[in-house]
Structure 1
């Protein structure tokens, strides 16, 4: 530990990453060719420069450019003079000398990328120092340190992505190719398929950045439906899935998955009353599940910050493409003393933000109020529905007229970018799984 502290202390004496020559080349290229400004702005901003004088000069360029003014040596110098900054950047003579540092204006994007690289490294250094400080601050919870650290790293990743634009001419050929490919593969969808054909035809699969809510009264089969879908995605489609279980243990979930995959009754698995044929089915199921990219996170009373941190880790390290959360009401807020509706609002907003940040679908299960007993649930029946309904892109409800009946409706009550409808399913209670019914309308 002492060696690490010494190493961190020694870093303070080092000059942060920078490239003065690249900064000068960017500014010089702009002075020689004002059309280069648009290219440079795709990569960097004034704060991307390390040298303060270069920051001031570039900000003057941006101010003039945004104001529709000509950008050249005289105009920049006059602008800086009016701002009282000309002497601090080295005067007109220094600005003029920048043109001598440019090998070729055609390489301005390359120079800008060098400046961006150094800027991101400095930002990473700043983040690491902040983490170092937070670690020793006993007033900051470790979960908050992890959450903020991961968020900052993700922000830096985004900073490395340059903005760009396209005209229809640039996009039409690619769009036609995509449309033709979809026509050739009609059974495939733009999103992640659920395994239920009619549902996928409505949604085109679960879409990236979307928050999907599946609501139902207790004991209707929320977890069974989520596991049926997660099993299809991970085992059949080999798409990495994260399943956050706040209600059931990982062993309970794997027993359910065994039953779901093997078609062996879950009661037989629990009691051990198995025949030779059952063992063979379970062995075959184990083979299919063994290498499935399904990541089960079993943590009761999981805090929202911990969930977000684990989700980021799974996406970065395991390439997870979709997240299931069972269920929303069991997520602990950092402040459980706040009113219930405010806590739900915080959680739903945070999950939507997570879906957008990771650019993957997030499916959260939710309890429907008892007032929906005996009737098909609606958006109004979602507990604290105001926040959930607003944040969710898709809201679906499981409904059975009679608990003992296998006939189940999956009601798509809200879909921000598509139609609403009812999907007819059948619940196979023996192995706690859902299958499509032949009739859907």
Structure 2
């Protein structure tokens, strides 16, 4: 059968270049042909190596090369033998032989590289050119979007940053999974726990029962602490932040929508020194011991790796952008947010529904935890459900009390409901009896047990401490 020596240009022609057509996108046609040539001659070795390096059809500049690569990978995955004659026949039967350039094009690729020793070098070149093209396309699309939708500035900025970070992540080859390495790590951690070297799988929070149930703050997880106003949820969050950041030297980023950075640091200093701020007044003179404690507390907090952003009503996309940048620079180990309902979402859908807005914010926080692989501790407000209950249930919160959105309940890995019974006491005697007693109900724990965690709240120090369980 006669074969035309002219290769069709349908798929073998390069894709359209820049928007004005004046410049050619970065490419490396020679290395692309060299990679395919090596794969045709030694499929088992080089197709496997290409897949391990996460090479895909999109990495090839010439569509014909990408199509051939995809076909070779498909045949290899099915365990089919790959040799030139049967390959050409298969491409013909599928009706894509002309898209690749016909028989001469396939034969030319097969003979193109007499030596496959440069496979790794050529593969690296192809991936680098793909990164350059991705940058150009992302920037071009962003420019067009900026002209078309100038009012969605913060949303666009977050989108552009995500896409640029996606290019970086896509260009990095992830180490292949090794079950033996993972099993060894599991066994090592198990032995450390048995030996008493570590008490948790994640970052300890400083509360015995809470750490025992939760196994610590684990990377990629979202821990919601919810309460009604005046229950002390900000104090509990900052007590945990202090333990993580100051005592364990874990870099921590705090987003505070309600308090200023000065107020938060002031709380930290005095609480850590166990000094009641209410004592400060005209003519007050602290003792020498108190001054030493305050100086020590000031020094320890000043030397800690703590960053505080007190932007009021910060949009979730801005928060995520700031967290990414800080994580890139300082390898953040914990993010704390006070509090979820004070954040905003600038999407058009969110503007029409408060529930939809809260849902987007909650999903955005969970996605950030997974993206950065760090735990996120986030506070949330409860609705008036606890006040509407009667008898022994008065003031006791439930997960259904989470304000404005059930998606928080779905997104969170752990949910702790904080309350103080004294707040709902009706008599002075009852208030005195319950003074300081607090409970954190671990109502949801995706990877562990749930239950009540007794705490003591020292109001003048804005501090929660572990409290022993009481007998029934």
The verdict on a shared fold, with TM-score over 0.5 as the criterion, is yes
Judged with a 3 Å threshold, the aligned counterparts in structure 2 of structure 1 residues 346 and 162 are, in CA distance, closer, same or farther, namely: same
Of 407, 431, 453, the residue aligned with 1:387 is 407
SS at match of 2:226: strand
Aligned twin of 2:417? 397
Of 440, 443, 448, the residue aligned with 1:410 is 440
Aligned twin of 1:217? 228
SS at match of 2:49: helix
Structure 1 stretch 407-416 or stretch 376-385: which is displaced more?
Answer: 376-385
The reply to whether residue 433 of structure 1 matches residue 463 of structure 2 is yes
Aligned twin of 1:160? 171
Of 338, 353, 356, the residue aligned with 1:342 is 356
SS at match of 2:421: coil
Q: Distance in 2 between matches of 1:239 and 1:169?
A: 29
**Residue 69 (structure 1) shift:** 3.5
Q: Does the 8 A contact of 2:225 with 2:416 survive in 1?
A: yes
**Residue 228 (structure 1) shift:** 0.5
Q: Distance in 1 between matches of 2:252 and 2:463?
A: 18
**Residue 296 (structure 1) shift:** 0.6
* Bigger Cα Rg: 2
**Matches for 1:187-198 after TM superposition, within 5 Å:** 187-198=198-209
SS at match of 2:456: strand
Q: Does the 8 A contact of 1:150 with 1:312 survive in 2?
A: no
Judged with a 3 Å threshold, the aligned counterparts in structure 2 of structure 1 residues 135 and 273 are, in CA distance, closer, same or farther, namely: farther
Judged with a 3 Å threshold, the aligned counterparts in structure 2 of structure 1 residues 270 and 159 are, in CA distance, closer, same or farther, namely: farther
Judged with a 3 Å threshold, the aligned counterparts in structure 2 of structure 1 residues 101 and 190 are, in CA distance, closer, same or farther, namely: farther
Judged with a 3 Å threshold, the aligned counterparts in structure 2 of structure 1 residues 440 and 175 are, in CA distance, closer, same or farther, namely: farther
Q: Distance in 2 between matches of 1:392 and 1:428?
A: 28
Which runs of at least 4 in structure 1 moved beyond 6 Å after TM superposition?
none
Residue deviations 1:251-294, cap 9 Å, x none? 11111111122211122358784525344432222111112111
Aligned twin of 2:261? 250
SS at match of 1:120: helix
Judged with a 3 Å threshold, the aligned counterparts in structure 2 of structure 1 residues 170 and 312 are, in CA distance, closer, same or farther, namely: closer
SS at match of 1:324: strand
SS at match of 1:397: strand
SS at match of 1:365: strand
> Which structure 1 residue ranges, 5 or more long, are not aligned?
1-8
Of 39, 44, 59, the residue aligned with 2:49 is 39
Of 355, 364, 374, the residue aligned with 2:369 is 355
The reply to whether residue 420 of structure 1 matches residue 420 of structure 2 is no
Aligned twin of 1:302? 314
Residue deviations 1:88-119, cap 9 Å, x none? 53432332333444465576455434422332
Aligned twin of 1:326? 338
> Which structure 2 residue ranges, 5 or more long, are not aligned?
1-17, 388-393, 424-430
SS at match of 2:220: coil
SS at match of 2:166: helix
Q: Distance in 2 between matches of 1:283 and 1:103?
A: 73
Judged with a 3 Å threshold, the aligned counterparts in structure 2 of structure 1 residues 189 and 154 are, in CA distance, closer, same or farther, namely: farther
**Matches for 1:18-417 after TM superposition, within 5 Å:** 18-35=27-44, 36-42=46-52, 43-66=54-77, 68-102=79-113, 105=116, 108=119, 111-137=122-148, 139-162=150-173, 166=177, 168-169=179-180, 171-269=182-280, 273-277=284-288, 278-334=290-346, 335=348, 337-373=351-387, 374-403=394-423, 405-417=435-447
Q: Does the 8 A contact of 2:359 with 2:405 survive in 1?
A: no
Judged with a 3 Å threshold, the aligned counterparts in structure 2 of structure 1 residues 169 and 219 are, in CA distance, closer, same or farther, namely: closer
Q: Distance in 1 between matches of 2:356 and 2:285?
A: 48
Judged with a 3 Å threshold, the aligned counterparts in structure 2 of structure 1 residues 272 and 242 are, in CA distance, closer, same or farther, namely: farther
Q: Does the 8 A contact of 1:198 with 1:440 survive in 2?
A: no
Q: Distance in 2 between matches of 1:292 and 1:269?
A: 25
Aligned twin of 2:426? none
Q: Distance in 2 between matches of 1:413 and 1:221?
A: 18
Q: Does the 8 A contact of 2:192 with 2:198 survive in 1?
A: no
TM-score scaled by structure 1?
0.88
**Residue 420 (structure 1) shift:** 0.4
The count of residues paired between Structure 1 and Structure 2 equals 433
Q: Distance in 1 between matches of 2:283 and 2:61?
A: 68
Q: Distance in 1 between matches of 2:276 and 2:231?
A: 18
Structure 1 stretch 292-301 or stretch 396-405: which is displaced more?
Answer: 396-405
